[in-house]
Amino acid sequence: MKKLLITTALTLFSMCILAAPVDDARIALQTEWAQIKYETDKDQQEAMFKALAERSETTLAAFPNSAEIMIWRAIILSTYAGEKGGLGALGLVKDAKKLLETSIEIDPTALQGSAYTSLGSLYYQVPGWPIGFGSDKKAKAFLEKSLEINPDGIDSNFFNADFLIEQNKKAEAKALLEHALEAAPRPGRESADKGRRLEIQALLEKL
């Protein structure tokens, strides 16, 4: 029994050691993403997101089986695509879509279901056939799944609301936006929370 306890303890310790670098890498990506998106001049964002996308590729190569790193690389690629625009952006969002789908296969609850939130947002923001893969039906399914996993999250509520506004369901959207403002602060993500709250307020003012 004593030998078993020691072996178990060593295994858990090893897992913690392995997890720490992945967590550090994820935090680095999400922190820089927020700094670029919410604290950088708009005319500088495309170039900076391009550089961050390249770094996220290197990070994923170091942690190829991490659902969390896949999600963040996908978020970075899709944000970069939004800044880049044009046909060149379509390849980026297709890559993001594949990463999110793979992350769900590995761990559907990673980052509180963020892959569903991001995948849903891609489906309603990307043009449909024959240009892209956009689909309101799939967007609805993925976004609702994100709320099922994380009903009180600021991002899950925000993107569901944004989609509902696109569907002209303003009353439902308003309720979700107001709930998003009640979301608990995320430790270490102060910049992202502040920026998202400003986006929520901007949407509420339009309703």
Nearest residue to 118 (alpha-carbon basis) of 108, 128, 132, 127: 108
If you write DSSP's letter for every residue of 54-106 in order, what string do you get?
HHHHHHHHHSTT-HHHHHHHHHHHHHHHHHH-STHHHHHHHHHHHHHHHHHHH
What does DSSP assign to residue 111?
Answer: G
Cβ neighbours around 140 below 10 Å, total = 17
**Annotated domain spans of the chain:** 2-107
- DSSP run (H or E) holding 175: helix 170-181
Nearest residue to 106 (alpha-carbon basis) of 58, 172, 60: 60
Residue 86 confidence class, pLDDT cut points 50, 70, 90: confident
Query: Model confidence over 14-66: pLDDT tens digits?
Result: 333 345 699 999 999 999 999 999 999 999 999 999 999 999 999 999 999 99
Nearest residue to 185 (alpha-carbon basis) of 198, 194, 177, 176: 194
Nearest residue to 71 (alpha-carbon basis) of 29, 132, 16, 15: 29
* pLDDT at residue 151, as a whole number: 98
Using the predicted structure, report yes or no on whether residue 106 has a pLDDT greater than 80.
Answer: yes
Secondary structure of residue 178 in the 3-state scheme: helix
Give me the chain's average pLDDT, please.
91
Using the predicted structure, report yes or no on whether residue 118 has a pLDDT greater than 50.
Answer: yes
Distant-in-sequence, close-in-space partners of 139: CB < 8 Å, separation ≥ 6: 120, 121, 122, 123, 124, 163
Phi, psi of 131 (to 5 degrees): -80, -50
* pLDDT at residue 61, as a whole number: 96
Using the predicted structure, report yes or no on whether residue 189 has a pLDDT greater than 90.
Answer: yes
Residue 11 confidence class, pLDDT cut points 50, 70, 90: very low
| pTM as predicted | 0.89
Nearest residue to 154 (alpha-carbon basis) of 119, 108, 189, 124: 189
User: Per DSSP, which regions of the chain are E strands?
Assistant: none
Using the predicted structure, report yes or no on whether residue 168 has a pLDDT greater than 70.
Answer: yes
Residue 9 confidence class, pLDDT cut points 50, 70, 90: very low
